[in-house]
Structure 1
């Protein structure tokens, strides 16, 4: 081998050693791709994490809201003598609010999910029977003792008013709202029984009726005394006066008939 050939071969060898290998180049490309993928994935991961945090916050708020509504329902049950559900799926928000305003001041209407009403009914003693009427969507009316009949009357008037735009011939077969059921005194009330509470006298009416009866009592007693037989009247007077003998008893005033 001459000097020129040796130098050419040596130069080619050096150039080959300096040129990067295919495997090294592939590994470098793979590494860069991995880094690129991680960088690209990071915003998505952060978005998912933010979404999870937001969902947790929303769940916490939702849970707090539900507990607040259940507490409101519990308080309404404790302060009420009767509670009943009103179907509102065919009633506009405007009409439902009008019904709310028509209720007595001491009564209350609450729109809540069935699960929350059931939970409140279980928590308050004497109201578990209300769950029998928890079906479909309802607005719940809670009325204290002095507002039972007036609350029922408000609903019946509301029901009639909803039917006013309907032709009279079609009103009998049209149902825009209804009572889903109710409870009072620890007992379940059917829709028909709830409606009949319209005729229940209010506390004020009962007091007035009792006062009238009390005023009539002395007169009735006086009339009854006048109708007592003379002998019995004499005996009562003798016992009242006591005569001279303070030990006088009924047997002395009305001696027994002689035995045969």
Structure 2
């Protein structure tokens, strides 16, 4: 029996990208759908410093790619290009202080900050190891260790990440989305920066910030903190503190 097939834009796209699903690295066959979102390409204009180049030259990618995952967010297939640069990394997670609400921090990225926050806010605290390596080298997380980490956190009513990196790696909400749950009020008016790794949480994040007392005059989600820092912006990344700029954590009163 013959059946008529309705041609829709979605169906056309699915057929157009069907060959990509049959190859190990679809970036090698893509004309560069994502390069307009790549910070290193936009700042240099050099095609070598773009996902097209990084897909072919992993040595360059490990050094030059910012591991911001913007190319993955723009890719129609959601292909994790940065995860092809290096071998898988094992992560481990331990509960330092149990609690109904647990702050999760990476040992290298934001542990000291999280310890202070946890003690001041009266929350639990969990420490993960290995996440920093993922966003330095682009390493994929070994699935078994990721599954185990999530199982350890499953006992908490709510687990939130203190950094965009931990949020993205573990698939848990960023602290900024749960300011009300943490009893945090902020007082700030001015431009704010949305980290690359939190773009998928943008709407929830902005609402939470505004409910907590942040009044954004401009929202910058294009610049990457690893390439550009503006002194008058409010940043959500703990690593911004290393650059001496104001972060959301500086506004939290205990």
Alignment TM-score, normalising by the size of structure 2: 0.21
Greater relative CO (CA pairs within 8 A, separation 6+)? 1
* Higher normalized strand content (fraction of residues): 2
